[in-house]
Structure formats: structure tokens, C-alpha cells
Structure 1
Amino acid sequence: MSQGPLLDINSPLSADQAQRLNEALAGLNTDQMTWLSGYLAGLTAQGETAAHSPQAASEPTAPEIVVLYGSQTGNAEGVAEQAKESAKARGFPVRLVDMADINKKEFKEPLNLMVIVSTQGDGEPPDTAEGFHEFMHGRKAPKLDERTRFSVLALGDSSYEHYCQTGKEFDARLETLGASRLHDRVDCDVDYEEDAERWIEAVLDRYAELSGGTSQANQAQPATTVATPQESVYSKKNPFHAEVLESVVLNGRGSDKETHHIELSLEGSGLSYEPGDAIGIVPQNDPAYVDELIDKLRMDANCDLGDGRCLRDALLTEYEVTTLTRPFLEHWAEVSDAAELRRLMDQESRDELRDWIGGRHIIDVIEHFPVEQIDAETLTKALRKLPPRLYSIASSYQADPDEVHLTVGIVRYEAHGRSRGGVTTTYLADRVRPGDSVPIYVDRNKNFKLPQDDDTPIIMVGPGTGIAPFRAFLQERDERDAQGRNWLFFGDRRFRSDFLYQSELLNYRKRGLLNRLDVAFSRDQAGKVYVQDRMRENAGALFAWLQEGAHFYVCGDGERMAADVHRALIDIVREEGDLDEEGATEYVRELQQAKRYQRDVY
């Protein structure tokens, strides 16, 4: 009796599967058909045995990991992406979540958290994490249990008093709410990469142990970070040596400030950037300062450190030898055994220590608390690596892809009987000339970007060197023929000597690219006037722009200016929006979470 062809109506197969199987069977003889039927029966039996075996039933499942991050300049986000890729390579289901996007519902079920967060300013959370930070530390915070596991990686700068404060607060709060700490918190200084990588692997090892130690999570190799071609070639560890094309002082005669416009060549580098990104400069310490330091320590400048390195060269290019950090002070208190320094390091002397540190450098500590004899290894162990300094890019890649421009305020001051200067700014101003080269790399900042929609209006507040990224914004919008309106608030000390990029800005205003330009020169009248004062004077128009979807940007001094502008913005929203203080604060926070209010402050 002949068997008709397989169809989707007389078999569990789809029409396509039935057709392909009919074609495969058509060319087989009887012996081949018999062998095939036995082979298929064997496959079926093997599948059923595996499905019912005790081992299959008990095979552990790798837990889902939530990589939760809060980032201001992009460093924490970069580490979070690295953690995600490492988790994926080990076989974990993984989600990457910005603190700006997480909500209370996420905590209704147990979570496996890897928390990565930076600290900015005076121990504050990143702007986009502010709402989540307040929620977790408030009365509405979720009640967690031990099934929610976590570990925190905190990014910070040990030269600040509240080093890694936000990470410390999240770490303590998650435990207080009932979650289980899977791995101890790790606090990272400015050279965070190696510590972050070790933390990622250690935490993933712990999650692998929880999955029974036999899942794919234990068997796979850690992920290799994938970078774009230019990033794989030039980076913080392998910078591009860019030729200095031009370095000119922007301030006019009579100014008490020194601001340089610096143009660097990118020709042949393959590097690219976007408005809002920064250039990292790998500097050198002042040779005169290094020589004085070595002399005060009565050390041999040519002392061999191994690998062909001598002490003087290492202090010039490898180590931070000016900025005071708590780890250095703690180390020096131990080395010097100075009772006064140990007293200053006590918790009760925190305010006194802060006042004493103000304006002082490492050389001052060595003078005040001398050590009779110290070897090179002991000294270098007390020092952190010399970190690159970041400068907001002041040009558009679209306008000139072979160059990058910077606006650098040179730091010079007198303190405690000594002339002092910024490490990188004096390096650029005093020891680098056109024709010389400077080691650089591009530092991406995903949290300070132009709107994707070129029709979106933008408001920019950039006094002093804070003008830098907004010069780039305007060049970029000019190149793209963007139709969105542009409003700039600029401020400095004096109109005649400190109106940075004056001719360019006035030309943009004349052409209509810059729809509004409001300036504040604090020393040109009896009462000081700042950018936040100009904002208040234009409160109605500013709020109207926000209501129409404008993005609001601030760049510059983070110690005072940014806080004053933030306060002014809340006041404007409260008054013009007829809101109370809580409502105005929430309005501004929503702007931050929607990334319509972005800050690049330092």
C-alpha cells in the first residue's frame, strides 16, 4: 500500500518542512530508509533519557545580573558596559540599567546587582542618578531581603574630601534595606581601570559559585573589550602624539587671567570625536619642582627603579607629585611617625585638616614632616599614578576633521610662601610650543551631547572656559544647518579683556545661528553680575524655551557656579511655572533624567 506525500494537514510538520522532507526521502532506497528510521528512533530515545536524567533536572541556571550604573562623565557607564560584556561572555543573562531609568517595580523580585557609580563635586551623585539616590535613601525605599544580592564599585578622586561618597552610601543603604552583600565594595581612584577589571571578575566568580559552579558561567572566558579601530590604537595607555599647531592667549591687555586657545593636529591619527567629548592630555610634571622634591628628600635622581627607569624620570612622567590625597597623607604619617600629622588624620580633626591642606602640595608635607631616610620604593608607593587631565573640546570634527581645539585656563597662584601652578596648564603654557607634540586621547562623554533632533532649541550656560563645548556645539549646528534655536549665556570678569571668542560669537549672532546672547562681566560695575543673574532677568523667556522642549546645558566651575545656576533654574521654574519648591525641584529633576539638563563641570 503506497504512502501519500507528507503535508501540513496530515503531519505535525509545517508546509515548508513537509516539502523539504518529501524531497529528501524521494531519492532513498529501502536500506537507506530502514537505517534512517533507526537513526531517528535513537535520537528520540537519547533526548528522552537526557530530559529525565537527574543531572538534567538539577542543572543550575546562571542567574540574571543587573548592571546598575550612575555616571556623570561616562567613566562609570564605560565600566558598566565592560561588566555587561564580561557577564555575557561567561553565559549570564545580563541587563544594563541606568539609574535614571530604574523604578521601584524593579525591586519587587530579588535582583542580582552589580552597582557602578561615580561621585562628583562635594560627595554628590551623578545628575542622572540624583532621583534614584534620593528615592533609595527616603521613606519610600523598597524593603529588600537576602535574596537580593549586590556589590558596589565606587569611582572617585582621592584628592577630594568625600572620596567615593556616593558609592559608599549606596553600599551601606542596600545592606540596611535588607540585601546581601555578595562582595566587598571597591573604591577606585582616578586610575581605576585595573581595580575595576579585578572587581568585575571577582563579582562574576561569586555569581558563578551561586549557580552551582557547573554552568556556562564558570566555563567561559572573560570578555575582551571591543573597541573601535581608533580607540584600540590610541588610548589613555597609548596616547597619540599630536602636534601643537597654535597656542594663543585669548585674554586682552590688562586681564588678570590667562586663557589659551590651543589647536592640535589629528592628521594621520584616525581619531574622531563629537561635540561634548573631551581630550585627555597626558602631562609631565614641572622639572624644577621635581628637582626640588628630590633635593628635599636627599635622594639620588638617577636611582634605578628597574626596567631602565630612574627616579627623576618616573617622578616627571609617572607619578602625581603635587596634589595631596588622603592615601598619601596616611602613608606619610606612617613613614614619618609625625604625631602632629597623625593627629590631623583623626576623624575629629577633619575640618582642621581641610584647612591645612588648602593651597598646599606634597612638597609642603615633606617639609613640615621630614623623614631622615627614605628609599625610592617607599616614596613611590606613597604616590598615585599621574592622571591625565581632561579638557572639553572646543571645536567640531565636522568643521575640521584634522584638528581639535581646546580652551585652557592657566592656573597660577601664590600660597604659603610658594609660587604654584596647575600641572597640565603650566605644562601647556610654559613648556610646549607650536611644533612640539602633546600625548592625547579622546575621552567620550555620552552624558553631554547635542539633541539628536536638529530642530530642538538649546540653552547654553558657559562662563569662562566653560564656553569651550558650546563653541563646538555652535560649529556643529552650523555645519549641519540645524534649525533649532540657540541661546548662550557667557560670563567672565571684564568685557574689554575677557570676552573669549568675542568676534566669533558676535558673528554667529549677526548671522542668526546664535538667536540670543546674554553676557555678564562681573567686574565692570560696582555690583557683581553673573550668568545666573542674566538667567533671572530673562526668566519668562527661558521657561518658555524649556516648555517648548529646549535642552539646558551648563559647563564650567563646579564648586560655585554650577550650584548657583542650578538654584537659579529651580527658582525660575517655581516662579514662572507657578509651582511650589517641591514641584519646581521635581520639574528640574525630570529634565535631568530625560537628559534635557546636562552638566560638564569641574
Structure 2
Amino acid sequence: MNNLTLPITQEQLKKLNALLKELNSTQQAWLAGYLWNASNNLNPENTCLTVNNEINSLTTITIISASQTGNSKKIAEQLFVDIERIGLKVKLIQAGDYKFKQISQEKYLFIITSTHGDGEPPEEALALFKFLFSKKITHLNSLNYSILALGDSSYDFFCKAGKDFDSQLYKLGGKRIMDLMECDLDYQKTADLWRQNVINYLEKNLSSITQSKSQSHQEILVESSIYTKEKPFHAQISVNQKITARQADKDIRHIEIDLGDSQLKYQPGDALGIWFKNMPELINEILSVLQLAQDSPVNYFGKTITLFDALTHHYELTQNTPIIVTKYAKFAGKSKLNQIISNEFDLKEYSKNTPIVDMILQYPAIITAEEFLSCLRPLTPRLYSIASSQEEVGNEAHITVGVVKYLKNGKKRYGGASGYLSFLKENDEVKIFIEPNDRFRLPTSNVPIIMIGCGTGIAPFRAFMQQREADSAKGKNWLFFGNQHFISDFLYQTEWQHYVKTGLLTQIDLAWSRDQAQKIYVQDKIFNKASEIWNWINDGAHIYVCGDALKMAQDVEKTLTNIIMKEGNMNKEEAEDFINNLRVAQRYLKDIY
């Protein structure tokens, strides 16, 4: 509306907008009636709001997202919009913000969760998960629910967190209104089907007389950046430097990426998404065995592209899964592969230990280009914890990459993303996006922090220290870091020495597992400082853990539990509750993979 058509002045409009911001939806409805009465020469003082009891009694539908990389959150937001569109009262909340004791009051609950680490739910959902499996809850007989589980079929515990939520809610008396649905990396089609099933059920079983105001405990915003996972920014490499010694067993890279004119912003704790390309040498090796031509035309979402292009940009070629093996076996003739897929244990072990290319070398198939693509999963980006603060590095993002490389049957193999990144040179292009991680944030500048990391898990703590130095933060900082060897594997050594010298890093404890006969791990160093750690916790310290999810993070949590039992004079159950309360208060945060 332009100024010529406004029946009120700009100043009046400004005052009206200011007033509306102070009113809730009920007050705004009353005001509309008040103004209508006044405009029709009726007594506006007699204006009243008739509340439709049927609307007020609408059942609230709750959606909980439990996300590690943002996929579950994205689906939850889509479902929220779907339910709003059909006029039902709905609230959306992230698992970490959910007051889990409210679950006994829920009538309709939809949980979208990924699986993390050793079959666990994402960190933000652990408090709710542990509560559901505790003695503090007896029944949920009034609950109607459905679960959407996200996972990665290349791992043993595919969708386990979702399965566990589903079975436990059922055991507690909840009514499963739809069966659990499982999503692999190419989750969108299955997620869309689940969402449609939810809407069909709600439309059939819950009628709304009129549109109701929905609630969201998180903001659903249009992307602040034009660059997203779906539309990444084409950035440039400015530095790709090996930061482990020449003789080191590990190849760890410090990579600096120029953000150019993207205006991308990030905070310490966020991750950088990398869209990688499969190596030409790997693709050609596969095509040679399968006797397929690089320029074979294939259909990719309605477009005709070459097979080589499809395998370079769009399909996963490094991580094998039981599903891929099973699909491929159909084209491999009467081979031993058919025996392998008939035994679940053998199938899991084979897919875990045999890259796709080596499976093809062992069991060549007579297969068309389209048939081969039908066996594969879509290529998905890899996320790397950002190792820098923009307060320090400006228009750059730094990452710390452990290059996966090994020999298999005498041939050198690389991890998909890490191998791709390791060969990039200065000014080479890489497609990136920012993946926010609101559950791994620095506290206010006066709060002490304890940082625990191994290997590349050091990355976010470098960002933390850069930020705290820029902020002139007064809070104490304590780093526990572990790796194999002091001489070759002390990542960013000179920087940590600088922070110790300036006093920013209050304390540092280092664990080198291979520098002596008896292996020493980071959890051993932590337990040796039990009383000090307990004092820091009592002083309000936030604890951060970054690195390996399957071993290190679990061992660290066991050690922290033992410290709390010992220093706090608690039994195991009390100590676990204490840890859980730290988690709920966002004082115990993990970025693990």
C-alpha cells in the first residue's frame, strides 16, 4: 500500500503498529470490534469478545524435533506449517527446550529424531530420552503419537533412537497412531510420505471449526542468507596446510576458506557444510570394471546428464551399506555375494569393511548405468566444526580435517570428503554452507568453561579461545586435549602456548596415548583432577566435549559421573541425574561424531 491510498498519516500508522505489537491475538480481536463499533456510531465501550469455547478447547498438537545436523528440525518445521494450514492448534519445540515432565499431559505428539553415536538420540534429546526410561514416569495412557526416525544405514544402529522412542512410548501406554517410519540419508521422500499420513490422520480425527493460533518455541525464519545447504556458496581455498608432523601416522589439515562476498556469518560452535566431489580416479576404476562409458546418458531428476557427472556430484561412492550390497547382489549373478546377503551378521560386517569399489572389483556385475545408480545413495554434504571466530579471522572460515586414507587389497583408498579436501589447492573452489549449532554455544564472558577434545575435536575450542580473546572475557578456561604423540600430533601447539602465556587459558592438561608403554587417555587426565573439576562445576562451569562419539565421549561421561559420585558423595543414580540436570541447563554440551 502506498502513501496515497492510506486513510491515516504515517505518524498514526506508526503509533498503530506500535500498539499492535503490545497486544495478543485476543486483544487484537477485541480492538477490531471496538473500532468497528466506533466507526458505525455505536458505543465502543459495549464491545465484548465472544470466545468460541469450541476453539478454546482445541487439542494442542506437539511436535518435538531432535536434531544433530538440522534435518529433523527442517522436517519438524515443514510438519508445523502443514498442521497450521489445516487449522489445528500446534506447537513446535526443540527437544532440548522441552519440559519433559509435560509429556504426561500431551494428547497428540509427533517426534522427529535422528540417531547419533552408538545408537543414541541427539544430545539435545538425551534428557527426555533418559526420563522416559526412568522410574519417574509410570504411564502415558492418554498419549497418541507417531515417530519419524532419521539415520544412516551405513552404521550398525540404523534409526535406533527413533525405534527406542517408539517402543518406550508404547510400553508406557501410548497409542501408536501410525507405525514408525525410517529414513536413510535420502530422507525427504519418506519424510514427505510420513507428513502426509500425519495430516490425513489429523484431518480425519480432529476437526477445527476455525483457524487457531499456533505456538512455536522456536522461530521459523526465512534463511537470513541466500546460501543454504540446497544452494551453497562457491568459496575459495586460501590455505590447505598439514599440521601434523611429517612422520605422523595421521594427516590432519588446517584449511582456511575465503567467504568472498557471500556475507555468510557464523558463531563459535557452528559447523561448515562441505559439498564434496568423488575423485575421478575412483570413478574411472569403477566404470572400467563395470564396462560402462563415462558419457553414458542417465536421468537425474528429469534432466539428462552423463554417468561421469552423476557419479562425480550426486552419488555416494565411499561409504558402503547393507542396502547397497543387497541391491548390487541382484546384478552380480550367482556369486558368493548372494550368500553374504543371506546372513544379517555377515552382511553388516562385509558392508562395514568393504568399500563400494572393492565390492565391485570382487564381484563384477553385468549392469546398465541406470541400474548401477539405483543401487547407490545420494551424495550428502559433510559437516566440520568451525575452528575460527569471525571476530579474529574476519571473512574466513577455518576447519580442521582428519584425512581418511588406508590401504585395501594393496590399493590406497580415501574418505569421500576428507580425501577431496586434502587435494584442494589455493584458489580452488569448494561449495559450502553454514550449519548453526545453537546447542554448542559459549556462555557469557564471565562464566568458566572446561573444554574436552581429542584429535580434530580441538577445532571448536580454537574458535572459543579466539572469541574469548576478542571479547576480553574474564571467565576461566581449562582445556583437556588428547592425541597419540606430543611431537607430531599437538594440533595448534603454538596458539595454545600463546593463550597460556597471556593467561587466557587458565589450565591445560594433555594426554598422549602412544608416548609411553601405558596408554594415557584424556579421561585419565580428567579423573586425576577430580576435586578441581568438582570445584569448577560448583562455580558454574560449562563443560564441552568434542570428538569421537563411539569411545571418547562415552568414556568421558563415565569419568565425569565417577567424579560426581566421589566428590559429591552421590550414588550412581544421583550422579546420572546430576549430569542430566547439567545437560538440561545447557552446562554439559557435546559436539561428537
Tell me the TM-score normalised to structure 2 length.
Answer: 0.85
Cα drift, residue 504 of structure 1? 0.8
Partner of 2:348: 354
Query: Match for residue 281 of structure 2?
Result: 288
1:266 pairs with 2:262: no
Aligned CA distance change for structure 1 residues 87 and 180 (closer, same or farther; 3 Å): same
Query: For residue 167 of structure 2, what is the aligned residue in structure 1?
Result: 172
- Judge which range, 172-181 or 533-542, deviates more: 172-181
Structure 1 residue aligned with 2:447: 456
Match of 1:144 in 2: 140
Matching residue of 1:581: 572
Which string of whole-angstrom CA distances, capped at 9 and with x for unpartnered residues, describes residues 397-421 of structure 1? 2223310001111111113433211
Aligned CA distance change for structure 1 residues 258 and 143 (closer, same or farther; 3 Å): same
Alignment-derived partner of residue 189 in structure 1: 184
Which of 424, 438, 449 pairs up with 2:430? 438
Q: Does 1:465 align with 2:460?
A: no
How many angstroms does 1:327 deviate by?
2.1
Q: List alignment gaps of at least 5 residues for structure 1.
A: 1-15, 26-32, 38-42, 218-223
Letter of the 2:355 partner, please give it.
H
Instruction: Provide the rounded CA distance (Å) in 2 between the counterparts of 1:444 and 1:433.
Output: 27
Residue number in structure 2 paired with 1:595: 586
Asked if 1:561 corresponds to 2:552, the answer is yes
AA in 1 matched with 2:140: L
Q: Deviations over 1:484-508 (max 9, x none)?
A: 1110111222222221111111111
Partner of 2:72 in structure 1?
76
Q: Which moved more, 1:419-428 or 1:386-395?
A: 419-428
Which of 393, 397, 415 is equivalent to 1:422?
Answer: 415
Name the counterpart of 2:89.
93
Retained in 2: the 8 A contact 1:82–1:225? Answer: no
Give the counterpart of 1:320 among 293, 313, 316.
316
Tell me whether 525-534 or 200-209 shows the greater mean CA deviation. Answer: 200-209
| Matched residue, 1:496 | 487
Over 3 Å counting, the alpha-carbon distance change for 1:65 and 1:22 in structure 2 is closer
**Distance in 1 between the 2:39 and 2:586 partners?**
58
Structure 2 residue runs of 5 or longer lacking an equivalent are 1-30, 213-218
- Structure 1 residues 553-587: Cα deviation after superposition (integer angstroms, max 9, x where no partner): 11112222112212211111111212222222222
**In the alignment, residue 581 of structure 2 is paired with which amino acid?**
E
Contact kept, 8 Å, 1:303 with 1:310, in 2: the verdict is yes
- Kindly provide the CA deviation profile for residues 290-334 of structure 1, in whole angstroms up to 9, marking residues without a partner as x: 111111111122111142400111011100012112221232233
Q: Counterpart in 2 of 1:379?
A: 372
Amino acid at match of 2:546: C
Question: 8 Å contact 2:234–2:431 — kept in the other structure?
Answer: yes
Please state whether the residue corresponding to 1:462 is helix, strand or coil: strand
Match of 1:479 in 2: 470
* Separation of aligned partners in 1, 2:54 and 2:272: 52
Asked if structure 2 preserves the Cα contact closer than 8 Å seen for 1:333 and 1:342, the reply is yes
Q: Deviation per CA, 1:442-462: give whole Å up to 9, x if none.
A: 0111221111x2111100011
- The answer as to whether partners of 1:459 and 1:550 remain within 8 angstroms in 2 is yes
* CA shift in 2, pair 1:278/1:577, >3 Å: same
CA contact (8 A) 2:318 2:415 kept: no
What SS class does the counterpart of residue 555 from structure 1 fall into? strand
Structure 1, 565-574 or 73-82: larger mean CA deviation: 73-82
Return closer, same or farther for 1:140/1:285 CA change in 2, 3 Å cut-off. same
Alpha-carbon offset, residue 249 of structure 1: 1.0
Aligned counterparts of 1:489 and 1:57: Cα–Cα separation in 2? 58
Residue 233 of structure 2 is aligned to residue 205 of structure 1: no
Instruction: Tell me, yes or no, if the aligned pair for 1:62 and 1:91 is still in contact at 8 Å.
Output: no
Q: Deviations over 1:143-167 (max 9, x none)?
A: 233x532121111111111111111
Q: How far off its partner does 1:78 sit?
A: 4.0
Greater shift in the superposed pair: 332-341 or 463-472: 332-341
Could you report, residue by residue, the CA deviation over 1:15-45 in whole angstroms, capped at 9, with x for unpaired residues? x99x9999979xxxxxxx8xx89xxxxx99x
Q: Deviations over 1:489-534 (max 9, x none)?
A: 1122222222111111111111111111111222222222221111
Match of 1:254 in 2: 247
CA shift, 1:132, in A, is 2.6
Letter in 1 for 2:368: D
Which sits farther off after the overlay, 288-297 or 590-599?
Answer: 590-599
Contact 1:413/1:419 (<8 A) preserved: yes
**Cα distance between partner residues in 2 of 1:366 and 1:23:** 80
The correspondence of residues 152-163 of structure 1 with structure 2, limited to 5 A, is 152-163=147-158
What does 1:300-311 correspond to in 2, within 5 Å?
300-306=293-299, 307-311=303-307
Distance 1:109 1:334, change over 3 A: same
Aligned to 2:290: 297
Q: Look up the equivalent residue of 2:223 and give its one-letter code.
A: T
Query: Alignment partner of 2:330: what SS?
Result: helix
Quick one: structure 1 residues 578 and 380, their matched pair in 2 at CA, closer, same or farther if it must change by over 3 Å? same
Distance 2:318 2:309 in 1: 15
The verdict on how the C-alpha distance between 1:75 and 1:545 changes in structure 2, with shifts beyond 3 A counting, is farther
Conservation of the 8 A alpha-carbon contact between 1:251 and 1:497: yes
1:129 corresponds to 2:125:
yes
Give, in whole Å, the separation in 2 of the partners of 1:425 and 1:92.
46
Task: Work out the CA distance in 1 between the residues paired with 2:86 and 2:270.
Answer: 32
Question: What letter is aligned with 1:212?
Answer: S
Structure 1 pair 24/394, CA: closer, same or farther in 2 (3 Å)? closer
In 1: Cα distance, 2:522 partner to 2:53 partner: 67
For residues 449 and 179 of structure 2, the distance between their equivalents in structure 1, rounded to whole angstroms, comes to 43
The question of whether the paired residues in 2 share the 8 Å contact of 1:107 and 1:142 is answered with no
Q: Provide TM-score, normalisation by structure 1.
A: 0.84
| SS of 1:171 mapped into structure 2 | helix
Residue of structure 2 equivalent to 1:10: none
Q: Secondary structure at the match of 1:251?
A: coil
CA separation in 1, counterparts of 2:586 and 2:167? 28
Greater gyration radius: 1
The partner residue of 2:503 within 506, 512, 515 is 512
SS in 2 for 1:314: helix
Deviations 1:209-256 (A, max 9, x none): 222377549xxxxxx9742331xx211221101111111111123222
Residues 429/178 of structure 1: CA separation in 2 closer, same or farther (3 Å cut): same
Over the residues paired in the alignment, what is the CA RMSD in angstroms?
3.2
- Report the equivalent of 1:7: none
* Contact 2:325–2:351 (8 Å) recurs in 1: no
Helix, strand or coil: the match of 1:125? coil
Partners of 1:208 and 1:215 within 8 A in 2: no
